[in-house]
């Protein structure tokens, strides 16, 4: 019989989509570093418009995307607070016409998966509370992260998977020191 136990703390990251290259690092990073510690890894930074035009009507084009992993381990349920912090910062940094200048997608990494937070429900997402759904977007198997049919195209690239494999190794060492 299994018994209840607290999950291991996790490592948080942001997927950042922006029109103005470097906007996040110049204007926003400090808000997140207060809660999550310094940026431990900066991931691939690429032309997001090559993957989708979903945000272009609101934000313009081309759009750039990068990943930023923070050093502090936190409980997984902090994802709910992080999603709302991201939402508030998106709103506060919007243009006078109410258009976002940045899209912030929070998530976390464990040894077995990468989880993203969203306000949008869909068949493969589970409700976490406070209007937020969770999506396991990558899972770890046979020495690398693997995709699901619903994994976003940018998360499917070799460059992004290699990056998260590297982050997983960092997380594994931090977790070992934590225990």
Span 4-62, pLDDT tens digits = 999 999 999 999 999 999 999 999 999 999 999 999 999 999 999 999 999 999 999 99
**Spans of all domains in the chain:** 10-178
Count of other CB atoms within 10 angstroms of residue 114: 24
pTM across the whole model = 0.96
Q: What pLDDT score does 75 carry?
A: 98
Q: What is the pLDDT of residues 82-94, one digit of tens each?
A: 999 999 999 999 9
CB neighbour class for 86 (10 Å; exposed up to 12, middle 13-18, buried from 19): buried
Instruction: Tokens 């949008």: give the residue.
Output: 120
Q: What is the pLDDT of residues 125-160, one digit of tens each?
A: 999 999 999 999 999 999 999 999 999 999 999 999
| Interval 157-171 mean pLDDT | 99
Structure tokens at 88: 């508030």
Residue 179 has pLDDT above 90, yes or no: no
């Amino acid at each position: 019989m299994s018994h209840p136990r607290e999950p291991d703390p996790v490592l948080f990251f942001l997927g950042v989509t922006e029109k103005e290259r470097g906007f996040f690092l110049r204007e926003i990073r400090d808000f997140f570093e207060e809660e999550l510690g310094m940026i431990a890894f900066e991931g691939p930074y690429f032309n997001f418009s090559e993957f989708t035009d979903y945000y272009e009507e609101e934000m313009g084009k081309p759009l750039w995307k990068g990943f930023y992993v923070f050093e502090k381990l936190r409980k997984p349920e902090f994802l709910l607070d992080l999603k709302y912090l991201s939402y508030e910062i998106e709103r506060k940094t919007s243009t006078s016409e109410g258009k976002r200048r940045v899209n912030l997608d929070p998530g976390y990494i464990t040894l077995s998966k990468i989880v993203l937070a969203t306000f949008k429900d869909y068949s493969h997402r589970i409700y976490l509370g406070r209007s937020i759904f969770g999506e396991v977007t990558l899972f770890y198997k046979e020495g690398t992260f693997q995709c699901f049919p619903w994994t976003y195209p940018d998360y499917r690239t070799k460059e992004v998977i290699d990056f998260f494999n590297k982050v997983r190794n960092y997380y594994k060492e931090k977790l070992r020191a934590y225990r």
